[in-house]
Amino acid sequence: MTKIKVGVIGGAGYTAGELLRILVNHPNVEIVFVNSSSNAGNLISDVHSGLVGESDLVFISELPFDSVDALFLCSAHGDSKKFMDENPAASKLKIVDLSTDYREKHPNHDFVYGLPELNRKEITDAQHIANPGCFATAIQLTLLPLAAAGKITDEVHVNAITGSTGAGVKPSSTTHFSWRNNNISIYKPFEHQHLQEITQSVCQLQASFNKEINFIPVRGNFARGIFVTSYINSELSLEEAKLIFKDYYKEAAFTFVVDKNPDMKQVVNTNKAIVYLEKHGNKLLIVSMIDNLLKGASGQAVQNMNLMFGLDEKAGLGLKAIGF
């Protein structure tokens, strides 16, 4: 099979590094170029040191669109739309955008929201994909089966903790080691930017949904991973809820409903999502966990690319959890 030729825009950040780590060993992909104006001429492995011995590519500042079949946009939020406006030739390629720019449905663009557990068929037919946010992915996986069954009839309460890589590669006062280590804090309570896309997806499946999603994001003192606990008032028994979740995810390539209380190390370094349920009185507790850089970003982006090109959905994503 002819390999898919890909280019990466904004190649110096964490998501680009993880993307390249996957693509360099993807059986159906050839990385043609990685664009980064600030690093042009430098070896990719000088920035993403885990690629030493894996690739001798250098960053370029040019944009040779005619040499690729697909583009991954790994630029900062707000920059993807600028890039598309300034480079109309790019629109002819298959594109997966990892920023927030096109996640909200709008008649002014044709980007499909790229959560395979929600829009798998639409993704396979799409030209342009808006890759979901990391928190949004993990939280939606706790809610979509209930929404599809029309069972979200009360407020939703969510607490989710994320690793420091979720804040990007550039250090800030709340991401550098001496602050983050042995520390924990909340930020943007009830106002996180991912709430819009979460609500959009829930309403896609349950049009009558009009309740609050109360989300408390937490900064964790670890590098990668997201651990979500959601709960709602529900008349469903635990057995009924499990049947709904297991039926909804029965064909999902990477999302697994388990009966044993899981831990985050089961998903770190993988494209897996694990979902677990408990019932406490009238409250249904749903736990989910993902690697924020993989299922929450670059792994899901490759999963979307696989679907867009008719490949095995799992191609290049056979990653095992580290465990220790």
Q: Could you give the residue numbers annotated as active site?
A: 134
Q: E strand or H helix at 53, and its extent?
A: none
Contact 273, 258 (CB under 8 A): no
Radius of gyration (C-alpha) of the chain in whole angstroms: 19
Torsion of Cα atoms, 80 then 84 then 87 then 91, to 10°: 130
- Apex 18 CA angle, 177 and 275, nearest 5: 85
> Distance (Å, rounded) from C-alpha 301 to C-alpha 80?
15
> Distance (Å, rounded) from C-alpha 38 to C-alpha 41?
9
Q: Other CB atoms closer than 10 Å to residue 250's CB: what's the count? A: 9
Q: Which amino acid is at 66?
A: D
User: How would you label 183-209 residue by residue, b for 16+ Cβ within 10 Å and e otherwise?
Assistant: eeeeeeeeebebbebbbebbebbbeeb
53 sits in the region (left: phi over 0; alpha: psi -120 to 50; else beta) called left
